[in-house]
């Protein structure tokens, strides 16, 4: 396991922002369902579409972050990683 403290980067800030967007839409959709809003409802569909769009952007941003910061640590090797936004600590597992 290796821990790296990263300086602020656009990629990290973008990833964090998208994570918040995905999480907030997910919470809203869960609330709507618990409040009895049907998935066929127009408002539900609109928020679900936003969730899908942000989720795709989030996954793309994770992939770009991984290519920039994780893959160079062990090219060609599949690594597990976690990024703590509060501490800017990147933890990478799978390094020998």
CB 48, CB 39: distance < 8 Å: yes
pLDDT of residue 9: 82
Q: For the chain, which ranges sit under pLDDT 70?
A: 96
pLDDT of residue 8: 75
pLDDT of residue 73: 92
């Amino acid at each position: 396991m290796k821990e790296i403290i990263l300086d602020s980067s656009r990629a990290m800030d973008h990833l964090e922002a998208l994570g918040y967007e995905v999480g907030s839409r997910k919470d809203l959709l869960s609330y709507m369902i618990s409040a009895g809003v049907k998935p066929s409802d127009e408002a539900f569909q609109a928020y679900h579409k936003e969730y899908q769009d942000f989720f795709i952007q989030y996954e793309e941003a994770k992939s770009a972050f991984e290519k920039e910061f994780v893959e160079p640590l062990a090219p060609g090797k599949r690594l597990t990683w976690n990024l703590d936004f509060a501490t800017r600590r990147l933890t990478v597992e799978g390094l020998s």
